Structure 1
Amino acid sequence: MSALQRAARDELASTAGGVAAVEGFIRRVVADIGRLPHLKVHHAEFGNYGSGYASYVDVFVTRRRSGEAGPDIEGLSLALCRLAPFAALFMPGIRSSSFHELPRLSRVADGDVVGWEEECRELRHVLDRHGIALLDSRILSLPLDPRLRVETVLGDPPYRVFDAWFHWID
């Protein structure tokens, strides 16, 4: 079975280590991101938004120098896939303490985000060190085999590679 077939079925690409090992690995990656000189982890959602199941951990990072005076803060979302060593970075957005935007293929950032170049380089360095590939919209937009069905509320058929690796089931 191909890795994409396994992902569409919400299975780990590799059975080595299991779910607990994957969660521990992602927690180490998030901690490493939190030690970056220009970025801080504002929030990492390991709990599937309070319901359902997410095939990724949503990490919202902000600039270290940003003040957090109000309830809304600008940052970047990074989705760390639980099924394989992949990640997707999303265009900057504003988050409030009560609202978490779900990842969308249309918001995937390709290359360094304008105004966030240094922060993007730092993120890529951490991901590279941990062996995580940062996927761009060109790859994530590729169509899945039409026979594959992905249980997700984030997208509709025809499914894309994005849907296989980054899905959420409510």
Structure 2
Amino acid sequence: MRGEPESGKPATDPADLRSAANDQLASKAGAWAGGAASVEGFLRWVVADLDRMPALRVHDAEFRHYGSGYASYVDVFITKRDGSMRRSENGWTHVEGLPLALCRLAPLAALCKPDERSSGPGGAGSRGLPALSLVTDAAPPGWVEEYRQIRQVLDRHDIALLDPAILSLPLEAGLVVETVLDSAPYSVFDAWFHWID
């Protein structure tokens, strides 16, 4: 399943990558057959399922494109359910967790290395953005069981968790992706996971 969307075509299919780079749905299977609204509903269902994992909970899921522009993915931040990754100091709350990008264009996802998100008074906060250099294909230290649970949920919904080897492959010459997350030369990661502010 790694690197394979539910349609059976690899995440590196040139036609699908061209569609994704142009913000067009690259899959016609499952929820993607129903268009963008169907995909949003499906991804909300997946996020709700992730929030029911025994050892994990969804701390945050960004469906609003960070409040501006367009994100080709939903940014989900998953932390340990027992609260061990949460601390407060000087009015700020810091939460460590695993960032997961759920692609809106095809049933694909990328899991990043542990990160921290902070929130403070008056809505102040900080968060990282997905980047190819942060994507992992193995359980980070201290997250082995949690990584397994995330894989199980994604597998149950036929969402392929892409690894860095696939995501780092170059796009065909001349294919440009409007994104502020990474820069040229563009990779498979840029086609599936990009944000235009």
Q: Which TM-score applies when normalising by structure 1?
A: 0.97
Does the alignment pair 1:40 with 2:57? yes
Q: Which residue of 2 aligns with 1:112?
A: 139
C-alpha deviations, 1:82-137, integer Å up to 9, x for none? 00000000000111121121111000012222210000000000000000000010
Q: How many residues align?
A: 170
SS at match of 1:78: strand
Larger radius of gyration: 2
Q: Is the contact between residue 91 and residue 107 of structure 1 (CA under 8 Å) also seen in structure 2?
A: yes
Q: Is the contact between residue 69 and residue 195 of structure 2 (CA under 8 Å) also seen in structure 1?
A: yes
Write the distance in 1 (CA, Å) between the matches of 2:156 and 2:73: 19
Query: Post-superposition shift, 1:14?
Result: 2.7
Letter paired with 1:127:
L
Matches within 5 A, 1:127-142: 127-142=154-169
Matches within 5 A, 1:140-159: 140-159=167-186
Q: Is the contact between residue 116 and residue 127 of structure 2 (CA under 8 Å) also seen in structure 1?
A: no
Letter paired with 1:39:
L
Gaps of 5+ in 1: none
Match of 1:88 among 104, 107, 110: 110
Runs of 4+ in 1 over 2 A off after TM superposition: none
Q: Is the contact between residue 44 and residue 57 of structure 1 (CA under 8 Å) also seen in structure 2?
A: yes
Does the alignment pair 1:7 with 2:34? no
Query: Post-superposition shift, 1:69?
Result: 4.0
Letter paired with 2:164:
S
Q: Which TM-score applies when normalising by structure 2?
A: 0.84
SS at match of 2:20: helix
Match of 1:72 among 89, 94, 100: 94
C-alpha deviations, 1:137-168, integer Å up to 9, x for none? 00000000121010111111110000000000
- Residue 110 to residue 50, structure 1, CA distance change in 2 (3 Å): same
Q: Is the contact between residue 146 and residue 158 of structure 1 (CA under 8 Å) also seen in structure 2?
A: no
Does the alignment pair 1:162 with 2:185? no
Query: Post-superposition shift, 1:66?
Result: 1.8
Write the distance in 1 (CA, Å) between the matches of 2:60 and 2:69: 19
Write the distance in 2 (CA, Å) between the matches of 1:111 and 1:84: 22
SS at match of 2:39: helix
Letter paired with 1:7:
A
